[in-house]
Amino acid sequence: MTQYLLSRPHTLISLTAFAERYQSAKSSISEDLAIIKEVFEEEGIGDLQTLAGAAGGVKYMPKMRESVALDIMKEICRELEQPDRVLPGGYLYMTDMLGQPELLADVGRMFATAFADRKIDVIMTVETKGIPLAYATAACLNIPVVIVRRDNKVTEGSAVSINYVSGSTKRIQTMSLARRALKEQSRVLIIDDFMKAGGTIQGMMDLLFEFKATVAGVGVFVESGEVELEERLLEDYVSLAKLTAVDMKSKQSTVIPGNYFKA
């Protein structure tokens, strides 16, 4: 049963389904669930929500305790501070880290915890580096992902394109999303790997407006603090880490846990 629940996060499973699957009485299933709930809470891996009534059942919501998250994030920050990660333009090389399944699972769980109470239909990101973070979060929340492309590929059918100005580089860029990729009125969680002024995320918001969709939340892995306040396009977002200083000459950078840990 533990395995069954863990592999189906944010999915309502009726007691009847469990009773049939394990050929047990509902009463003993209930008792087992109570034990599992206790263990999940003790280990800090998530909540087991019980809904009463005919349409009721039990739902596993993966979470991560804030103290555990902070410890993991401090380690990630140390790794991000490695001098060979500093790149021209105040960027950090982190593609290798975004390729590690374990780190992604941890970060996905943090985002899932941060946005657990929001009503979200779909997660949106823009290619390329935000994609693994979006999927890791989606796996915990059990909701689909749509990927905004920086070009418009033939294999997607008709698409909506918008131009946006990257806030930090001031360059005009294009992003597009297939018309059928997103239903109107969707509630969308935006996830991205790195945010400077927020131009890319603002672009995604403009695109959402074209689809009559609304923003349910914005989560970024690393935000850059190297931005003048008046340049910042976005106020309401969750960041897991914050790049507070980069010295291009010495290739030194300082990365601290993001605003998620101060809330």
**Rounded Cα distance, 80 and 93, in Å:** 8
**Least distance (Å) from a copy of itself to the CB of residue 11?**
8
Per CB under 8 A, contacts with a copy of itself among 128-157 are: 128, 131-132, 135-136, 138-139, 142-147, 149, 153-157
- Taking each helix axis from N to C end, the angle separating 130-141 and 101-114, rounded to the nearest 10 degrees, works out to 60
Cβ-in-10-Å burial (0-12, 13-18, 19+) of 144 comes to: middle
Dihedral sign, Cα of residue 29, residue 33, residue 35, residue 36: positive
Comparing CB distances to a copy of itself, the nearer of 45 and 162 is 45
Residue 25 within binding range of a copy of itself, rule CB under 8 A: no
- Taken as a whole, the chain contains a residue count of 263
Residue 227 within binding range of a copy of itself, rule CB under 8 A: no
The vertex-210 CA angle with 175 and 203, nearest 5°, equals: 40
Residue 38 within binding range of a copy of itself, rule CB under 8 A: no
Residue 28 within binding range of a copy of itself, rule CB under 8 A: no
* Contact window for a copy of itself (CB under 8 A) among 127-135, 214-222, 226-234, 245-253: 127-135
Comparing CB distances to a copy of itself, the nearer of 22 and 209 is 22
Residue 102 within binding range of a copy of itself, rule CB under 8 A: yes
Q: Which of 138, 109, 102, 134 is nearest to 220 (CA)?
A: 134
Residue 207 within binding range of a copy of itself, rule CB under 8 A: no
Per CB under 8 A, contacts with a copy of itself among 236-255 are: none
Q: How many residues bind a copy of itself (CB under 8 A)?
A: 46
Residue 105 within binding range of a copy of itself, rule CB under 8 A: yes
Comparing CB distances to a copy of itself, the nearer of 82 and 236 is 82
**Rounded Cα distance, 91 and 173, in Å:** 18
What string of DSSP letters covers 162-183?
A: EEEE-TTT--EEEEEEEGGGS-
Comparing CB distances to a copy of itself, the nearer of 47 and 236 is 47
Helices (H) and strands (E) in the chain, counts: 7, 12
Q: Which helix (H) or strand (E) holds 34?
A: helix 26-43
Residues of this chain that interact with a copy of itself (CB under 8 A) are 2-3, 6-7, 39-40, 43, 45, 87-89, 91-93, 95-96, 99-102, 104-105, 122, 127-128, 131-132, 135-136, 138-139, 142-147, 149, 153-157, 178, 180-181
